[in-house]
Structure 1
Amino acid sequence: MKLRKLLSLKQWSHIFRSTWQYIISPAVSIGDKLLFTIPALLYWVLPDIMPFVPIDDIGITMLLMGWFVSRMDRKYPALGRAR
């Protein structure tokens, strides 16, 4: 994600809405859903794996959300346009 998009409120509102829509969509495969949920949950439950990284749980989750939505937008373009 470019810096301008990273700071855009419009982009983050799209990411938050789309993440939830992709997670609950029956058209998205379970494997694709797990690519986001497993790393996010593991980082929230086991944050001591990287104790000296100054990024908190919310920051990592937001970066994962941005990656997940951009990947799902490319993989399932029909779902992205339906909203």
Structure 2
Amino acid sequence: MKLKKILSFKQWSHIFRNSWKYIVSPQVATGDKLLFTIPVILYWVLPDFLPFMPIDDIGVTMLLMGWFVSRMERKYPVLKVLR
């Protein structure tokens, strides 16, 4: 994502809204859902370099969420929600 999109509230609201829709959609393959959820869950559960500081966990989750939504929009164009 470009810097302008990273800082855009509209872009992040689109990502948050659509990431949940792709995760609960029965039309998205389970493997695709696990490709996002497993790394996020492992990153939150396993100990990291900054204990008791969830800022890095949230940042990584948001970056993975942006990647997941852009990948699902390309792979499942039928499910793409209008911005």
TM-score, scaled to structure 1: 0.88
Partner of 2:56: 56
> Runs of 4+ in structure 1 displaced over 4 angstroms?
none
Partner of 1:72: 72
Q: CA offsets per residue over residues 25-72 of structure 1, 9 Å max, x none?
A: 000000000010000000000132xx27x9611000000000000000
Count of residue correspondences: 80
Specify which structure has the higher proportion of helix. Answer: 1
Partner of 2:22: 22
Q: RMSD of aligned C-alpha atoms? A: 1.9
1:19, 1:65 within 8 Å by CA — same for their partners in 2?
yes
Matched residue type, 2:31: G
Please, which runs of 5 or more residues in structure 2 have no aligned partner? none
Partner of 1:31: 31
TM-score, scaled to structure 2: 0.88
